[in-house]
A = this chain, B = another copy of it.
């Protein structure tokens, strides 16, 4: 078959695993082009050192390893947590929020390398392809995107292994688990295999970041988290960078079995899909953040912001992080956080965390010393009558109207 010749140099998001190794080889074969491998460190907890050598062996002209952990925590996870964004009531968006950053760094390498194409290993049925590609196009509307899973004929693991053998790519003797997973500093996700039966409980050996709640310590533990303008800045009194703070909370959450979620969710591409997630630190972070908001944030600001969060979560889930609508909405969210300065105390125990105290030295709307005014100046109980009467007025008029109709 004739090679495709419209691409000169492609930057591939490369993990070192079987799939992206095959893609690397396939790109050189199919497109007869130079392939630059690229791996991002988002805290997936795997050894990346071996990757450059492996990439080159498989045919890459060069390989970039980029440490994105702090940028990930600071510019992606934290802004999202200012909104308490949760998709379909349960999912903390751990994969969704990582993809735009992976794509951003990939496009920066493409620019630096003068590449005319980018490629990724996401399948044609999932959300990730959308998240990657929308981000690519944001950075370069003319970039050529190669999504091998939508292009080649291979459909199964056997197809892949045959291709690997044919091209001398080492195949792991056994895949560790039959399900697929995606991990970073915020979470790990699982899908496929047994999860395709929506009634089947996820097996215990699936979980990676959290102990079984039954195996968590028998004594609860308390953690204090401090916030400035809506961002966590310290844990138990120790200031930490965003990535280190998230890692610290992951330790706490993991130890106590916190943050497991089992969700049948709606993909952007139109189908439902089962996912199991572990978000140990993020689960604690959300609980603490809401608690500090509860004491510092105006009611109407909170309700307005909350009413927009489902839409904000959709934007992130669907891959629109870099879109102008996410950006204008972020300005509202960030503005809502100016007074979110304070701390929360969270109890961790056997798979669950729960706020037990919250305070704010600077911005409490609860602690305000009413004594500076005569009690009646700030709240006169008699005012409630007028408040109720006028709020009920339209309902009373409607009731009169109903009576008159009879």
Within 8 A of B (CB), among A236-279: 260-266, 269-272, 274
* B130 and A391 contact, CB distance less than 8 A: yes
Instruction: Return the CB mask of A354-391 against B: 1 if under 8 Å, else 0.
Output: 11111100111111110011000111111111111111
The residue of chain B having its C-beta at the shortest distance from the C-beta of A382 within the complex is B150
Query: Cα distance A320–B133 when bound, in Å?
Result: 26
Picked from B137, B198, B369, the residue with its CB within 8 Å of the CB of A395 is B137
Which of the candidate stretches A20-28, A176-184, A304-312 sits at the interface with the other chain? A304-312
Interface residues of A in 198-229 (CB under 8 A from B): 198-202, 213-214, 218, 220
* A404 close to chain B: CB less than 8 A: yes
Query: Interface segment, A7-15, A38-46, A63-71, A326-334?
Result: A326-334
Q: Closest CB of chain B to A170's CB: distance in Å?
A: 27
Q: Name which residue of chain B comes closest to A149, CB basis.
A: B381
Are A349's CB and B351's CB within 8 A? yes
Chain B residues with CB under 8 A of A387: 130, 269, 383, 386-387, 389-391
Which of A29-37, A54-62, A156-164, A292-300 forms contacts with chain B?
A292-300
- Identify which of A74-82, A121-129, A185-193 touches chain B: A121-129
Within 147-171 of A, Cβ neighbours of B (below 8 Å) are at 147, 149-150
Given contacts A88-B294, A395-B322, A396-B137, contact A129 B384 (CB under 8 A): yes
Chain B: CB-nearest residue to A402: B141
A352 touches B (CB below 8 Å) = yes
Please give me the residue from chain B that is nearest to A89 by CB atom. Answer: B290
What chain B residues lie within 8 Å of A104 (beta carbons)? none
Q: Using CB atoms, name the residue of chain B closest to A290.
A: B89
Q: Is the CB of B201 within 8 A of A390?
A: no
| Residue on B nearest A351 in the bound complex, by CB | B352
In the bound complex, do residue A124 and residue B382 qualify as a contact, i.e. CB atoms below 8 Å apart?
Answer: yes
- In Å, the complex CA distance between A172 and B349 comes to 38
A327 surroundings in chain B (CB, below 8 A):
335
Contacts of A265 in B (CB 8 A): 294
Measured between beta carbons, the chain B residues less than 8 angstroms from A175 are none
CB neighbours (8 Å) of A367 from chain B are 198
Name the one of B214, B218, B262, B298 contacting A394, with C-beta atoms under 8 angstroms.
Answer: B298
A150 CA to B386 CA, complexed, in Å = 11
A383 with B381: CB separation less than 8 A: no
Q: How far is the CA of A352 from the CA of B257 in the complex (A)?
A: 11
- Which B residue's beta carbon lies closest to that of A357? B199
**A401 interface residue per 8 A CB criterion:** yes
Residue among A139, A310, A336, A384 with most chain B CB within 10 A: A384
Residues of B close to A264: CB separation below 8 A = 291, 294-295, 358, 366
Is A48 located at the chain interface by the 8 A CB criterion?
Answer: no
Q: Is the CB of B129 within 8 A of A271?
A: no
Say yes or no: A399 contacts B140, CB within 8 Å. Answer: yes
Closest chain B CB from A340 CB (angstroms): 12
Q: List 9 A-B contacts (CB under 8 A).
A: A124-B385, A138-B392, A147-B384, A262-B354, A269-B387, A300-B394, A369-B404, A378-B396, A383-B387
